[in-house]
Structure 1
Amino acid sequence: MGALHRGGIRSEWAFAAGFGSIALSLLAWLASRAKPGDDRAQSDRWGLFVGHWAPTFFALGLALRSEERH
């Protein structure tokens, strides 16, 4: 975390990426559902794949916030 903090990465950016990945997850799911060749299971997998990024970004945001306070 120290290297990310020293590199200029801010906690706000990580939190924004977390919320952005939630929106991207919904968009990926909707786009996959709109394609005629994909079935529902494939759409769900795309949405879940991108949706798993959000907790990682939020955890990074919390860790970076801790670095910012020191």
Structure 2
Amino acid sequence: MVIQKMHEMGIRSEHAYMAAMASIGLTVVAWAGSLKMEPGLDLARADRWGLFVGEWAPTFFGLGLALSHYEQHDGTLTATVHEIREQQKAS
């Protein structure tokens, strides 16, 4: 039901996958930023910030898989693939 609502709102599997990849990059930035901004603190604080953001990626990948499954069942993923193939044939 949640996946269906997300799909109806226009959120697609590609969006979730992009968010997952961005959160991986943000993990590195958060870790490095925490190290540089608070040099007096130990490495554990930077690790906690990196891990906090890093836990988002599996969630987004899971949502991407669920949305992809819904799109395949709904037919919207297949229609998109067919549209791309037709555009490639036309050009």
TM-score by length of 2: 0.74
Q: 2:42 aligns with which of 20, 39, 45?
A: 39
Percent pairwise identity: 56
Deviation per CA, 1:23-67: give whole Å up to 9, x if none.
000000000011223321100000000000000000000000011
Q: 2:27 aligns with which of 12, 25, 37?
A: 25
Higher relative contact order (CA 8 A, sep 6+): 1
CA contact (8 A) 1:32 1:38 kept: no
- Moved runs in structure 1, 4+ residues, more than 3 A? none
Query: What are the ranges of 5 or more consecutive residues in structure 2 without an aligned counterpart?
Result: 74-91
State which structure, 1 or 2, has the greater radius of gyration over its C-alpha atoms: 2
Give matches, 1:42-53, under 5 Å: 42-53=45-56
Output the CA distance in 1 between the equivalents of 2:16 and 2:41. Answer: 32
| Residue 5 (1) aligns with residue 27 (2) | no
Query: What are the ranges of 5 or more consecutive residues in structure 1 without an aligned counterpart?
Result: none
Give matches, 1:51-62, under 5 Å: 51-62=54-65
Output the CA distance in 1 between the equivalents of 2:66 and 2:30. Answer: 28
Corresponding pairs, count: 70
CA contact (8 A) 1:15 1:58 kept: yes
TM-score by length of 1: 0.95
Output the CA distance in 1 between the equivalents of 2:20 and 2:4. Answer: 20
